[in-house]
Chains A and B, each alone.
Chain A
Amino acid sequence: MAKILAVDDSASMRGMVAFTLRGAGYEVFEAENGELGLDAARGAAYDLVLADVNMPVMDGISMVRQLRAMDTYKGVPILMLTTESHTEKKMEGKAAGATGWLVKPFDPEQLLATVKRVLG
């Protein structure tokens, strides 16, 4: 089953995302900021990365930019978890190399649908 890296500073959001995806059979690793996310990404090959935008230490945009600079993450799908009120963040995320986004708030069904959309 596909391995997913979920990066979000909010423990409740991370919990919800991880629980939902694990329930669908995915293997999920959690990280609570961009820097820890990068560490995790260096240590293992993930099939999909979910990244929150606003995080302390290192935000999601910077993390995506650095992920894309890594050979192993050239074509790996990366989805930004963003809010509707920050349309410009979507564009910033795209410019940094994100595949797409999932608009917050989302429910478990929306999350699964989007993940399936990317992972097939």
Chain B
Amino acid sequence: MSAVDLTQFHKTFFEESQEGLDAMESALLALDSGSTDTELVHTIFRSAHSIKGGAATFGFVDVAAFTHVAESLLEEVRSGRRPVEPPLVDVLLRSVDCLRVMLRRSSAGQPVADAESEELRAELASLVSGQDEGVQPPPAESVSTSAGWRIDFAALPHLLQTGNDPLRLFRELQQLGQLDVIRAFIVDGAPATLAEVDPTLCYLGWELHLQGAASRSDLDAVFDWLDGDCVLEIHPLSTGGSAETENVSSSSPVATDPSRRDASPPGIVKVATDIPAAVRETPIAPAEGSSIRVDIDKIDALINMMGELVITQSMLSEIGENFQQSQLEVLREGLVQLERNTRELQESVMRIRMLPIASIFNRFPRLVRDLERKLGKQVKLELQGEHTELDKTVLEKIGDPLVHLVRNAIDHGLESPSRRKAVGKSETGTLKLNAYHEGSNIVVQISDDGAGLNRDAITAKALQNGLISSGQELSDAEVADLIFQPGFSTAAQATDLSGRGVGMDVVRRNVRDLGGSVSVRSVSGKGSTFTIALPLTLAIVDGLVTAVGGERYIVPLISIVESLRLKASDVRKVAGGGEVFHFRDAYLPIMRLHRSFACHEAVMDIERGIVVVVEEDGRRVGLLVDDLLGQQQAVVKSLEAHYRRVQGISGATILSDGSVALIVDVGGVVHMGRQSKAA
């Protein structure tokens, strides 16, 4: 067992392999869509090569064996011996998938190879036309029983320039037995006078005798690197014959001589047999925690900010040392600077967690390609704004909802080529993914030019599922919203529905958990656009601080539509004890926050309080609070982690005066409002 613990590099290996597979996939898809960029082939080859090398080094023998075969096939492509054709891309894409699974199993310490991976490996091997040297048995060791060797070794002039050194050779030969220098000589072509000698060139040769049990292959290993750099003749000492004579020079490359192969161990097979069974069965600890790769520019920016902060700090402490009233202005300036430094530092720190959405967008070419084939549709995928950055946590959790929406858009949104032709559209449908900044939000849009939502089918379904009652007049927005309702449809029902609906409630819930919202706009016959708005970060929320009784509640700014003071006459009581008020052509329920959160000594008179209109997924309610105290950025602390989950509250934060304020979960509160209205 090695003294260096290699397991510490496993996590890095899995991460870079994952990146390598992603790169392979993108490059394969680009080749599939007709690109002839040779760099793509190099990228694919290089990725497979790196995974193979790493897997072999770190003892993931199945992965190494699999990638070895894939690499052989790719080598044929790289050298131009094999054209890039769709069946080849197919098998390579399947190999990428298979490797993903194998790597996941490796990192979880599970058995890696299975019937499926073995089958695919055999398929790859059958495609490789050349002999696979990696699985050939190593040639038998040529053991010599000679009493010793006579070595005639003459350096070619450039020997020293290759970084090789005759002294090293002598040192190594000495380790093999007793070394005697019989004769040293100056080779032909050496300069006649010392003045002409270039110290970087070597004109020396030696006749050496090595006595001992060293084998010919031991000697070959010593001179292994010198091919083309010297003239070498080796004879057994006992016979002095020419049977073992070999002239190593540029005209006889080592690589073509099979008897010298054994000097270096064959890659893959060696590792496979070297690893004891016990080691192979030991489960590898799953990679713990998670890491993030940060662009060096971001770190540099952070260090710069830090430097400025230190300067400001020292300036302020200097003022503090012997403060005089006349310096008040300087102090103010310093504080302004401190505020700016702090804000910039905060932004830089936040940016460390930001990663481009490309890592998710890059999954879609493959998904679209697979769905196209499966569903017999033609789709042109357009990606925009791949460089838009999102918080790592948001990024990790938004993947599945996006995949869901893309799948639905192709499955239900885009029509079949024949149908598209019949309605006068191009046979190829277009699916656009776009990501961009909007205020403190990131917006991701998925739009298709398909049939749009089918209003009749959706209302019929909703009626059947009891989500609406017959005769209910619904606006387009309300109809569109129905597809996000839990229980609107199940996968089984969705197949006979030309609209959408497979698990859309799950999509909305996932997005909402991230503090975002999802909505849909659809034009019949023209297509649909799903819009997901996500917060830039989960760690900080821009909020409005409100007072309710003695408590402070923070309402996220993103959810606020308007704040207003009502007159008692604006408020109508409805059956069940609820209150509503008229706001922009609609009646909104009023939620008294003091009642929802059981606060004492709050303002009960609606004319003295303030109503904050908030919106979540198109639903609005008015929240009655005592007063508005101002706007503030709140660092979100999890309530769940320290206490427990509380309905209507998404977290807590600490205000500038040190007191604790709770952050209102608008989605939850709206939900509570609707429940109490229904009650």
Chains A and B come from one and the same complex: yes
Interface string of B45-83 (1 = CB under 8 A from A): 110011011101110000010001001100100000000
Please, how many angstroms separate the alpha-carbon atoms of A83 and B71 in the complex? 12
In the bound complex, do residue A98 and residue B4 qualify as a contact, i.e. CB atoms below 8 Å apart? no
Contacts of A87 in B (CB 8 A): 255
Q: Which residues of A contact B49 (CB under 8 A)?
A: 54, 83
B376 interface contact, C-beta 8 A? no
- A120 near B50 with CB under 8 A, answer no
In the assembled complex, which residues on chain B have CB atoms less than 8 Å from the CB atom of A108?
2-4, 6
Asked if B643 CB lies within 8 Å of chain A CBs, one says: no
| Contact A12-B134, Cβ < 8 Å, known A103-B265, A120-B168 | no
Report the bound CA distance from A95 to B228 in whole Å.
9
Asked if A9 CB lies within 8 Å of chain B CBs, one says: yes
Contact with A along B589-622 (1 / 0, CB 8 A): 0000000000000000000000000000000000
Q: Which residues of B contact A10 (CB under 8 A)?
A: 13, 16, 50, 53-54
Neighbour of A107 across the interface among B2, B15, B163, CB < 8 A = B2
**Nearest-CB distance from B652 to chain A (Å)?**
39
Whether A5 sits at the interface, judged by CB under 8 Å, is: no
B224 within 8 A of A: yes
Chain B residues 249-284 with CB under 8 Å of chain A are 253-255, 264-267, 271
Q: Which residue in chain A gives the minimum CB-CB distance to B158?
A: A97
B16 pairs with A11, CB closer than 8 A = yes
Report, as a range, how many residues of chain B touch the other chain.
35 or more
Q: Is the CB of A118 within 8 A of B168?
A: yes
Which A90-110 residues have C-beta < 8 A from chain B?
Answer: 90-91, 94-95, 97-101, 103-109
- Say yes or no: B53 contacts A16, CB within 8 Å: no
- The smallest beta-carbon distance between A15 and chain B, in angstroms, is 5
Q: Does residue B12 face the partner (Cβ distance < 8 Å to A)? A: yes
Most chain A beta-carbon neighbours within 10 Å: one of B9, B52, B200: B9
Bitwise, B201-218 to A at CB < 8 A (1) or not (0) is: 000000000000000000
B residues within 8 A CB of A78? 163
Check if B266 sits within 8 Å of A84, measured CB to CB: yes
Q: Which chain B positions have C-beta within 8 A of A55?
A: 46
Closest chain B residue, CB of each to CB of A77: B163
In the complex, the answer to whether A12 meets B58 with C-beta atoms within 8 Å is: yes
B64 to A, closest residue via Cβ? A105
- Cross-interface CB contact of A15 among B9, B50, B71, B162, cutoff 8 Å: B9
For residue B427, CB closer than 8 A to chain A, the reply is no
Do B16 and A16 touch across chains, with their CB atoms under 8 A apart?
no
* Distance in angstroms between the alpha carbons of A8 and B320 in the assembled complex: 52
Most chain A beta carbons < 10 A, residue from B8, B15, B71, B264: B264
**Interface size range of chain A in the complex:** 35 or more
Contacting residues of chain A (49-68) with chain B, CB-CB under 8 angstroms: 54-56, 68
Chief secondary structure at chain B's binding surface: helix
Docked-complex contact B9 and A12, CB < 8 angstroms: yes
A16 to B163, alpha carbons, bound, how many Å? Answer: 24
Contact A75:B57 (CB < 8 A) given known A10-B16, A104-B267, A117-B172: no
In the complex, are the beta carbons of B57 and A105 less than 8 A apart?
yes
Residues of chain B from 352 to 400 with CB closer than 8 A to chain A in the complex? none
- B255–A90 contact, CB under 8 A? yes
Selected contact of B53 from candidates A23, A75, A104, CB within 8 Å: A104
Report if A88-B161 is in contact (Cβ < 8 Å); known contacts: A75-B200, A101-B225.
Answer: no
A11 and B12 form a contact (CB under 8 A) = yes
Beta-carbon contacts under 8 Å, B117-172 to A = 133-134, 160-164, 168, 171-172
Q: Which residues of B contact A12 (CB under 8 A)?
A: 9-10, 12-13, 16, 54, 57-58
A96 to B: closest C-beta gap in Å: 10
**Smallest Cβ distance from A63 to chain B, in angstroms?**
14
Q: A94 and B172 in contact (CB under 8 A), knowing A9-B50, A99-B163? A: no
B50 adjacent to A54 (CB under 8 Å): yes
- Interfacial chain B residues near A68, Cβ < 8 Å: 161
State the CA gap A106–B264 with chains docked (Å).
Answer: 11
Is the pair B164, A100 in contact by a Cβ cutoff of 8 Å? yes
- CB of B453 to closest CB in A, whole Å: 45
Q: Give the residue name and chain of the A residue nearest to B14 (CB).
A: A12
CA distance A83 to B57 in the complex (A): 11
Q: B4 contacts which of A20, A56, A103 (Cβ < 8 Å)?
A: A20
Q: Please tell me if the beta carbons of A84 and B2 are within 8 angstroms of each other in the complex.
A: no
How many Å lie between the Cα of A97 and that of B161 in the bound state?
A: 8
Cβ of B325 to closest chain A Cβ, rounded Å: 53
Instruction: Report the minimum CB–CB distance from A83 to chain B (whole Å).
Output: 6
Please give, as numbers and ranges, the residues of chain A lying within 8 Å of B267 by CB-CB distance. Answer: 83-85, 103-105
Given contacts A85-B267, A117-B172, contact A109 B2 (CB under 8 A): yes
Contact partners of B53 in chain A: CB under 8 A:
10, 13, 83, 104-105
Residue of A whose beta carbon sits closest to that of B3? A108
Interface pairs (24), CB distance under 8 Å: A10-B50, A11-B12, A11-B15, A12-B9, A12-B16, A12-B58, A13-B53, A16-B9, A23-B4, A54-B45, A68-B161, A74-B200, A75-B160, A84-B134, A84-B264, A84-B265, A85-B71, A85-B72, A98-B163, A104-B53, A104-B57, A105-B56, A107-B2, A117-B168
The 8 A-B pairs with the shortest beta carbon distances in the complex, nearest first, are A100-B225, A99-B163, A105-B56, A12-B13, A77-B163, A84-B267, A108-B4, A87-B255
Residues of B within 8 A of A (CB): 2-4, 6, 8-10, 12-13, 15-16, 43, 45-46, 49-50, 52-54, 56-58, 64, 68, 71-72, 75, 133-134, 160-164, 168, 171-172, 200, 224-225, 227-229, 253-255, 264-267, 271
4 additional A-B residue pairs with CB within 8 Å, beyond A20-B4, A105-B64: A19-B9, A83-B267, A108-B6, A120-B168
